[in-house]
Chains A and B, each alone.
Chain A
Amino acid sequence: MTFLRLDNIKKTYGDVPVIKGVSFAATKGEFVVFVGPSGCGKSTLLRMIAGLEDVSSGHLYIDEREVTYEEPAKREVSMVFQSYALYPHMSVFENMAFGLRMAKRPEAEIKAQVAEAARILQLEALLERKPRALSGGQRQRVAIGRSIVRHPKLFLFDEPLSNLDAELRSQMRVEIAKLHRSLGATMVYVTHDQVEAMTLADRIVVLRAGLVEQIGTPTELYDKPANTFVAGFIGSPKMNFTNARVASVSGNGLVLEHPSFAGGKLALERPSASGVKAGDTVIVGMRPEHLTVAPAAPVLALTLDFAESLGGSTQLYASGEGDPVIALTSGRPDLKPGDALNLGIDPAHIYLFSAAGLAL
């Protein structure tokens, strides 16, 4: 059942379009992540759902009710801000109780709700403190606590972890995932970090320049990116791209030409690429983690530029004719810069895109 629906939402600042028509629906209890590079409009979109930004055109529904022009408070949503936005002059308890006080709930209920949220987030010992006496992670927890006490229909998170250090970030990521499971609430989460998107999301909405590039589960986006933008954005390190020329097409197969390919050629079975003609340019994508070093049947013949050992794995930076290629391999291969590097890949892991960047 659709719980949150965006119907051709647009936003312009003066003459400048920021959101150019986003349609999307989420079901109840779903964890949706908006991801995209900075300036793609993901935060603006979230703030429009919250009601903090006006919608220029389009319709917005929460729980089957149109809320496009509704006051923020009447939408029954809560939001965790990137900056946390805690009330600095109020104690942790008062910060969390503020929304309930605004709703004029009885004192006993306020106490019970705040106590419950404090228990879930392990804030019991900090209730009397002011925000300035808290660490970053604790402030983050209070911001989340403030949003859960009101039992909103929809939780919104605006890059909530970007101010935390790496260790705390992964810890809070796990806690948010747990929270989502235990509350069973619908959550919309904005981030530019594709790792957060992959690990937290039931579904990811990839945005670029105010438009949706692709919507899908994390594995769908990883396995079947709709275009080179999504392919490059999802996955770390980034997918390697090579522009290759189609030498010949025969039945379900095609032969690609590029000086970096072992023997200059690469033969592929790809029934979906039936529209491609000999002489066309296609973009070949290979994920660093799919490349294997010194395989029986090499696909790429390159020269190693340098290797970064991460301890358990090694990141290899190689180049041939054309763009540099990154490969991620386990262990520590015995290679020096300047050595010839042959890389192999399972043909099923080779992505093909048209010259315009669309998946083939």
Chain B
Amino acid sequence: MRRTSGKLFHALGLTAVIVFSLFPFYWMVAASFKTQPDILASPPVWFFTPTLQNYADIFADAKVSGAIVNSLIVATSSTVLAVALGAPAAFALARYEFRGKSDLWFWFISNRMISPIVLALPVYLLAIQVGLLDTHLVLILIYLTFNLPIVVWICTDQFKSIPADLEQAARLDGADQFTIFRKIYLPLGAPGIAVSAIFSFIFSWNELLYALVLTRRNVQTAPVVATSFMSGYELPWGKIMATGTVIVLPVTIFALIVSRHMVRGLTMGATK
């Protein structure tokens, strides 16, 4: 009896959390299919005739599709680079003893202690100096500096959880360091690498502050364009929500693809 009621409360609690966290998402998606009067109606309209006009409008606007392409370029590049550079670094931090290791580790962590806005102005001035303002590269580089610590943290932890015996067995089997990394650590560290890739991608995809500061016309990313609708004399909620939905879509798809690798117990059976 107690167990059933416990389960019931559990289910109720979970439902509340799910509704709470998904409702804004639902509201955005729903609004993107509504006409302006329906969106502004009070009390809110729950049942409405969906329209694709908002999507037609935003896709007709070259700015939006261009921005999504920009976002894809920037987020993908910075994620790929962060994982490609971060995972080997994490391997070294997880498995080797070398001088200054703890300092290096702290440096990686401290990178994320600084509030991004503190660095916005110096980075902006730096970008002007080196002539990188309004390029993909400047965003890729700046996101890389934010993503790299995340990848290093998560992957180091993941790699540490792989039994050291496996590496030694591979060494005796004749594998060199690179082979050990590629054949043992990458496949077994896949969950950590996947998580860090998702984090990197989402961060780069959603980032607004630096995207606003460092871009002008050429490489505006999706969040910048979405906010740009808010200027002027009207608030085209339908278009904003449609853009928002389109922005969320790739991240969701990416997370779903990558999450296949986030299985627990991957190292089961290695030892004992």
Contacts and interface: CB of A to CB of B under 8 A. Distances in A.
Contacts of A219: none
A86 interface: yes
Contacts of B184: 87
Interface string B228-266: 000000000000000000000000000000000000011
Interface residues of B, number: 24
Contacts of A102: 173-175, 179
Nearest to B179: A102
Interface in A77-123: 77-79, 81, 83-89, 98-99, 102-103
Contact of A83 (B170, B172, B268, B272): B272
Given A99-B174, A102-B173, A102-B175, A85 B272 contact: no
Interface residues of A, number: 30
Contacts of B272: 83-84, 136, 163
Contacts of A84: 270-272
Nearest to B162: A88
B269 A98 contact: no
Contacts, number: 86
B270 A85 contact: yes
Interface stretch (A125-133, A292-300, A333-341): A125-133
Contacts of B13: none
B149 to A, nearest CB: 27
B51 interface: no
A79 B169 contact: yes
A73 interface: yes
A88 B269 contact: yes
A260 B169 CA distance: 54
Contacts of B269: 86, 88, 130-134, 139
Interface in A32-80: 50-52, 72-73, 77-79
B172 A79 contact: yes
Contacts of A50: 168, 172
A85 B169 contact: yes
Contacts of B165: 81, 83, 85
B166 interface: yes
B260 to A, nearest CB: 14
Contacts of A134: 269
Contact of A73 (B171, B187, B265, B266): B171
* Shortest beta-carbon contacts, A-B, top 7: A132-B269, A131-B269, A83-B271, A85-B165, A102-B174, A99-B173, A73-B174
23 contacts: A51-B171, A72-B168, A72-B171, A72-B172, A73-B171, A73-B172, A73-B173, A78-B172, A79-B169, A81-B169, A84-B270, A85-B163, A86-B269, A86-B271, A87-B166, A87-B184, A88-B166, A98-B175, A98-B183, A99-B173, A99-B174, A132-B269, A134-B269
Interface of A: 50-52, 72-73, 77-79, 81, 83-89, 98-99, 102-103, 130-134, 136, 139, 146, 150, 163
